[in-house]
Structure 1
């Protein structure tokens, strides 16, 4: 008889992996936008150059997308 995997032994976790991913992906994206957009806003406030806000937002989306790819895309 083949050995059961850890996932098969715990039926209470059935379907939670999809739910975790469904909440994690938007959370990564939103936090990336807020964090890097906020840093861009601070930098633009200190320097007076308003180009840092969209740069921060785009950087946040890019880095968050990369983290999502690393965690779920492989």
Structure 2
């Protein structure tokens, strides 16, 4: 594996993880604040969807 491919792999991993943590965390916080039980799941879905879209924009169109 070349150095560029390794960097791309870590960038993709970072996008996916940060999307899940950021939007999942927002959903979790809203769940606790509003007393609901479904916003964490919505936050996780938004996070992973956004991260996949960003990965596609950056790496998929080359």
Common fold: TM-score over 0.5: yes
Shift of 1:16: 2.1
Q: Distance in 1 between matches of 2:9 and 2:43?
A: 25
**Which has the greater radius of gyration?**
1
Write out per-residue CA displacement over residues 2-46 of structure 1, whole angstroms, 9 at most, x where no aligned residue.
xxxxxxxxxxxxx32111111111111011000000000001111
Select the structure with the greater relative contact order (CA < 8 A; seq sep ≥ 6): 2
Select the residue among 31, 34, 41 that pairs with 1:54: 41
Report the secondary structure of 2:36's partner residue: coil
Structure 1-normalised TM-score?
0.78
In structure 1, stretches of 5+ residues that fail to align are: 1-14
Structure 2-normalised TM-score?
0.92
Please provide the CA RMSD for this pair. 0.7
Flag the structure with higher helix content. 2
Residue in 2 aligned with 1:38?
A: 25
Residues paired across the two proteins, number: 60
Q: Distance in 1 between matches of 2:6 and 2:59?
A: 13
